[in-house]
Structure 1
């Protein structure tokens, strides 16, 4: 018996177990749940230009998504997901909200900000304002006013020249918010709204303008909503099913492959912990499709071990020694395992780049599952099995589930 090899095996196992047991509660607590598990809603918007004949650009789509994000932030909602998709769509995912109706109203409200002359003609619209460019300032150090950042000083100079001595109405959703007099030509990229505002009224007006300054109009394409109770039930059922599947897999591989099966079960637990670490480091959101990919990854991890162990058993049946069988089986199975994992990685990459939403979440989790399983259930599994074999503790074919009668003499 080689005491050093056995000590190394025991040391590695204990260190990993201590790390997994000690840190798992922290990682489990920090997992960010998606709306299908936590409750919430998902909405897909189709964007169109404010001006007739205008076009939707990538930049305007990004700016609109940022404006929607500011609207959600103003409601005090944590970690919303608002992302442009394709050429004219924006997907909004918000989990954990208690009043979905209110948030959807804020998002779907067709807030259009414009400046109009006394005849009602629009002289400046949302495309002329810098997104989130309105803020409260103080005239003479005491009187609050609202300053609005404009994209073009020349354009504002032209408008104030045309309306000199007249009133210029500020409308949001066709509702007059302010109607200041144009007392002088303004050659500046900042417009100011003066009046008898209180500080709070000035702040509210600035916030209203910022919320309204969307570069594009949005039309709701579809919405799906998941209640908090249903989301929690889905999470509980999914976790329960995953644990049952994991336990059954571990029992099966241990019963059939004996000592290698026990090592495979240990590396499965390590795989699960490593994937939790990856989710935490990436601040990723766990969804039902993600959990499906997670469980699928467990199956692939087990499959990698089974391929290796079956090759080792074949070598043992041919009459080779334990160590020779281990080396030969590991070598011949490695290419098969790599080929299968690369194939799955390519398929997942295609799903990620051509898919969207839940499909991308599934694909991304699958990619990380494959990469993590290569570390835990290919390399770590082989290292532990080699240490145990070299220690002399595992020195009989029956430790691998091979009967003496199945072994052919060389």
Structure 2
């Protein structure tokens, strides 16, 4: 029995040590690791203001929802990692955080462009709206004339309308406009019957791809202007991240020492469980693509303190049982059982607070609530199951050990 517990503990320690060593690289990978927010990675913070309609029609919340969805789609099509897009309905604004953006001006132009696509005759009359598009992609000019194009794909109804249009205007020019700006004015040489067309005349693939993003996402219901543009330098983000890491390391060192001094052998188990807890939480961040920000790091560090607090509650119960005359083995079992309800209550109430913050908060508040909530759920597992089992194995090595090793004077 004793040798079996020793083997289990040694195997567990080796497993955790190996997992920690193998986890460092994938978790901190700048591309595939835990995504960093604007305040840690650098990027651009934008506030887009909805402009009043010229005809005096008020901007509704439905307009803001549609604008938010379209802007979010444009951001995703640009390939920005883990963007944050929020709507401020009271002030009719869209708030956008783009982490890791290297060309903020290009992003601004694409996001605020209304992107209304129209096909017009030579007199300027609108023949077809871009709402009938289902897809738009940049690519090489299929005529091998050099240059690049935007390939258009119409819906079923749009394809029929475009076929009728190109048949009617065969041999004539049809202007293709984006926000009243003429992109190209091609001559219809043959009817387009399959719903596939393209816009040529682009000098670079990037220019074609940017216009494709606008056409693919659809037109904004309102015009947007830039109310605020703030760029966060990568160096500032790195400095913030380093300070946060140092704060976390110092906190862990203090917690480790505190648990060792006051709880001795259970303190060693608690410190080991804390390492496992942190590992599980970080992998949860990675799995759910949680964007880590400064408030999020604060929530993570706070959850570490909460996890330790739960261990303290349990260990104090264990010490009370041992002082009452129970053996160490019986004290451990009884202490965990008596502390169970208290720990559950503390977890549930704190988790309710985190959920409330996540539902009613926004931006960095949501990040804080999310990391705190994940930390609480994981700490419940480590405190009730993992820590308890490891402590059982530890006691099983020598059930007659002195109570001094559990922070209790005298022998049981």
Shared fold, TM over 0.5: yes
How does 1:316-335 map onto structure 2 within 5 Å? 316-335=322-341
What SS does structure 2 have at the residue aligned with 1:6? helix
How far apart, in 1, do the equivalents of 2:264 and 2:317 lie?
15
**CA deviation vs aligned residue, 1:323-359 (integer Å, no higher than 9, x gap):** 2221111101011111211222232223323333322
Summarize the Cα distance change of 1:96–1:190 in structure 2 as closer, same or farther, 3 Å threshold: closer
With 301-310 and 86-95 compared, the bigger mean Cα shift is at 86-95
How far apart, in 2, do the equivalents of 1:399 and 1:143 lie?
80
Q: Unaligned 5+ residue runs, structure 1?
A: none
TM-score, length-scaled by structure 1: 0.81
What SS does structure 2 have at the residue aligned with 1:350? helix
Tell me if 1:298 matches 2:301: no
For residue 108 of structure 1, what is the aligned residue in structure 2? 112
For residue 389 of structure 1, what is the aligned residue in structure 2? 395
For residue 118 of structure 1, what is the aligned residue in structure 2? 122
Summarize the Cα distance change of 1:163–1:7 in structure 2 as closer, same or farther, 3 Å threshold: closer
TM-score, length-scaled by structure 2: 0.81
Q: Does the CA contact (< 8 Å) of 1:40 and 1:228 recur in 2? A: yes
Aligned-pair distance for 1:404?
3.4
**CA deviation vs aligned residue, 1:168-215 (integer Å, no higher than 9, x gap):** 322223332222345677666445557xx5xx6496775354233233
Tell me if 1:69 matches 2:76: yes
For residue 243 of structure 2, what is the aligned residue in structure 1? 237
**CA deviation vs aligned residue, 1:85-111 (integer Å, no higher than 9, x gap):** 698976543222333334333333444
How far apart, in 2, do the equivalents of 1:158 and 1:169 lie?
16
Q: 2:364 aligns with which of 329, 333, 358?
A: 358
**CA deviation vs aligned residue, 1:196-250 (integer Å, no higher than 9, x gap):** x5xx649677535423323314524654432111111110111111111111111
Q: Does the CA contact (< 8 Å) of 2:88 and 2:95 recur in 1? A: no
With 386-395 and 238-247 compared, the bigger mean Cα shift is at 386-395
For residue 16 of structure 2, what is the aligned residue in structure 1? 16
Tell me if 1:3 matches 2:33: no
Aligned-pair distance for 1:84?
6.8
For residue 98 of structure 2, what is the aligned residue in structure 1? 94
How far apart, in 2, do the equivalents of 1:155 and 1:48 lie?
32
Q: 1:79 aligns with which of 53, 78, 81?
A: 81
**CA deviation vs aligned residue, 1:48-86 (integer Å, no higher than 9, x gap):** 99997796496785455323432x24xxxx525265769
Summarize the Cα distance change of 1:367–1:202 in structure 2 as closer, same or farther, 3 Å threshold: closer
How does 1:273-288 map onto structure 2 within 5 Å? 273-288=279-294
Q: Does the CA contact (< 8 Å) of 2:75 and 2:83 recur in 1? A: no
For residue 33 of structure 1, what is the aligned residue in structure 2? 36
Q: Does the CA contact (< 8 Å) of 1:62 and 1:84 recur in 2? A: no
Tell me if 1:176 matches 2:182: yes
Q: Does the CA contact (< 8 Å) of 1:112 and 1:173 recur in 2? A: yes
